[in-house]
Amino acid sequence: MQESGYFDKYSPISGVWDEMYGADTNVRDHYRKVIEYISGESADDLNKKEELAKRLFMSQGITFTVYNSGEGIEKIFPFDIIPRIITADEWAFVERGIKQRLTALNLFLKDVYHNQFIIKDGIVPIDIIYSCPHFLREMYQLQVPYDIYVHISGIDIIRDYDGTFYVLEDNLRTPSGVSYMLENREITKRLFPDLLPQCGVRSVTEYPTILYKNLLALSPRQISNPTIVLLSPGIYNSAYFEHTTLARLMGVELVEGRDLVVNNHKVYMKTTTGLQQVDVIYRRVDDEYLDPLVFNPGSMLGVAGIMGAYRKGNVAIVNAIGTGVADDKAVYVYVPEMIRYYLNEEPILKNVPTHQLGNADERDHVFQNINKMVIKKTNGSGGYGMLMGHAATEQEIEEYKLEIMKDPRNFIGQPTISLSSAPCYMQGELQPRRIDLRPYALYGPDGIEIVPGGLTRVALKEGSLVVNSSQGGGSKDTWVLA
């Protein structure tokens, strides 16, 4: 194939798995049609598409909030117009791995809140569990519908320099970003209307339908039209755009804590015609703010008495309360062993090698090799509070070590993974930028379903390995081919 223009100048990063180019600098087959199409477009055409994408994001209010930006409340989520492409075989592998992992994590949650066999058998240390702030004794021996705890997950997948897939994080509490996956696809349809069908790109639009079906199935009342609500912390939450989008796409009410009230262990929504009993709550409020009578007494985001209604089985809550114990980064270390323990299978997707800094030997190893390490808080998210050893100054490293020594259990260290790169359209040319992938899995009574795609996040700054939107990252559409 004759390459031209943008692709002649594209230079993959040395030693990095490039999603478009193989090691021999030949274009991978699944990118050929996109290259042919882009090569036929002038810079003016691509600039117009980029501008159109920005206008669409702006006009549709596709935004997120950066808490410490000092630039106001909301920002437009940066979007790159060149799609990331995944083959059918690659996707099948990732999908199998996520389903296996999610099955084991769910069994772990049921076990840890009931019999605790995995602790008694010495697979996961008891102190790791009981020191986790997301292990909630209020959930002990509480039955949840269909024994499903994690109804919605967004498991972060990365590729190393040799193309191997790894799980970086299990996001099992209130994973965000799926609305951007949906919006990215809608905008890409506008930019490249002919290209998607030509390439055989699989659809992701079924996500809200599957989610709604699963929520409906959880209703404690066997009635034809149960009431489902999406509980949001409100407009100042970083994912408020997503809350409004999902509620709109599913046709359910978007509520805040002040819109709900508990009476006689039942949850009601205030309406202009009186109180309406609520059957299922898709909550985007963290555990500690859900019920001021049980958790944080100062919370204004939750509903007093909601935990009592949950205990009585009068309302279903998605995801189940207490799921955070399974995505504590100190527990992440043990997920491969969970898979072997509960499923008697070898893990399909690998963990990134991880050192728990509560262990003195592992902490020494991390400190000695800190320039090659990424250190994270075990319950952090959004890229906040990380130390990238290779990019930190000596003073930053020393200050971070002091922070670690205050409570080593709350930190892990991982070797710096050289994330794969993909072409991005920047300043009129294609440049490689590092990426990851967050597919969204939905676990309902009929099993686990994953729409073929996910949110590909991009580290837009040259040389950066941090893809989080709160840290200057953006996103691009993810095409899974049939």
Give the residue ranges of DSSP H helices in 192-286: 195-199, 207-217, 240-250
Query: Distance between CA atoms of 244 and 410, rounded to whole angstroms?
Result: 33
> For 47-60, what is the mean pLDDT?
89
> For 220-238, what is the mean pLDDT?
94
What is the SS3 assignment for 139?
A: helix
Which of 232, 178, 440, 221 lies closest to 316 in space, CA to CA? 221
Q: pLDDT band for 62, please (50, 70, 90 cuts).
A: confident
Query: Distance between CA atoms of 392 and 318, rounded to whole angstroms?
Result: 39
pLDDT tens-digit profile of 295-344?
A: 999 999 999 999 999 999 999 999 999 999 999 999 999 999 999 999 99
Provide the total of helices (H) and of strands (E) in the chain, helices listed first: 15, 24
Q: How far is CA 73 from CA 69, 144, 231, 235, 401, in A?
A: 8, 37, 20, 9, 32
Residue predicted with more confidence, 187 or 462: 187
Residue 187 reports pLDDT greater than 90: yes
Return the ∠ at Cα 287 (arms to 283 and 293), rounded to 5°.
105
Q: How far is CA 111 from CA 149, 207, 281, in A?
A: 11, 29, 24
Query: Distance between CA atoms of 177 and 439, rounded to whole angstroms?
Result: 10
Residue 176 tokens read as 């965000």
pLDDT tens-digit profile of 411-465?
A: 999 998 889 999 999 888 899 999 999 999 999 999 999 999 999 999 988 888 8
Query: Distance between CA atoms of 289 and 292, rounded to whole angstroms?
Result: 7
Among 261-270, 317-326, 381-390, the range scoring the smallest mean pLDDT is 381-390
CA–chain centroid gap for 24, Å, is 33
Query: Distance between CA atoms of 200 and 83, rounded to whole angstroms?
Result: 13
Between strands 429-438 and 455-458, the pairing is antiparallel
Residue predicted with more confidence, 24 or 394: 394
> For 44-65, what is the mean pLDDT?
85
pLDDT tens-digit profile of 133-179?
A: 999 999 999 999 999 999 999 999 999 999 999 999 999 999 999 99
Q: Give residue 1's pLDDT.
A: 45
- The one-character DSSP state at 15 is T
CB atoms under 10 Å from CB of 445, counted, come to 12
In angstroms, what is the C-alpha Rg of the chain?
A: 23
Return the ∠ at Cα 206 (arms to 163 and 236), rounded to 5°.
85
Q: Which residues pair with 156 in a beta bridge?
A: 169
Query: Distance between CA atoms of 67 and 269, rounded to whole angstroms?
Result: 30
Q: Residue 467 corresponds to which amino acid?
A: V
In the block, residue with structure tokens 């190393």: 160
The DSSP secondary structure of 253-276, one letter per residue, reads EEE-GGGEEEETTEEEEEETTEEE
Which of 373, 393, 402 lies closest to 465 in space, CA to CA? 373
Q: How far is CA 190 from CA 52, 183, 187, 458, in A?
A: 9, 11, 5, 21
- Consecutive H or E run containing 430: strand 429-438
- Burial of 26: CB neighbours in 10 Å, binned 0-12, 13-18, 19+: exposed
Residue 285 reports pLDDT greater than 80: yes
Residue 3 reports pLDDT greater than 50: no
> For 30-56, what is the mean pLDDT?
91
Q: pLDDT band for 381, please (50, 70, 90 cuts).
A: low
CA–chain centroid gap for 126, Å, is 27
Q: Give residue 76's pLDDT.
A: 76
Among 82-91, 169-178, 358-367, 465-474, the range scoring the smallest mean pLDDT is 465-474
Which of 461, 167, 152, 472 lies closest to 318 in space, CA to CA? 152
Q: Under a CB-based contact definition with an 8 Å cutoff, are residues 409 and 402 in contact? A: no
Q: Residue 22 corresponds to which amino acid?
A: G
Q: Give residue 4's pLDDT.
A: 54
In the chain, the largest separation of any two C-alpha atoms, in whole Å, equals 72
Which of 230, 242, 240, 253 lies closest to 179 in space, CA to CA? 242
pLDDT tens-digit profile of 393-404?
A: 999 999 999 999
Residue 64 reports pLDDT greater than 70: no
> For 245-274, what is the mean pLDDT?
97
Which of 468, 471, 474, 470 lies closest to 168 in space, CA to CA? 468
Residue 255 reports pLDDT greater than 60: yes
Between strands 316-318 and 280-283, the pairing is parallel
Residue 138 tokens read as 């209020």
Mean pLDDT of the chain: 92
Which of 471, 311, 306, 301 lies closest to 384 in space, CA to CA? 471
Q: What percent of the chain has pLDDT over 90?
A: 80
Q: Which sign does the torsion angle of CA 179, 71, 171, 268 carry?
A: negative
Return the ∠ at Cα 428 (arms to 424 and 432), rounded to 5°.
25
Q: Give residue 77's pLDDT.
A: 81
The three-state DSSP-derived secondary structure of 442-464 is EEECCEEEECCCCEEEECCCCCC
Residue 70 reports pLDDT greater than 60: no
Mean pLDDT: which of 54-63, 409-418, 465-474 is highest? 409-418
Q: Give residue 202's pLDDT.
A: 98
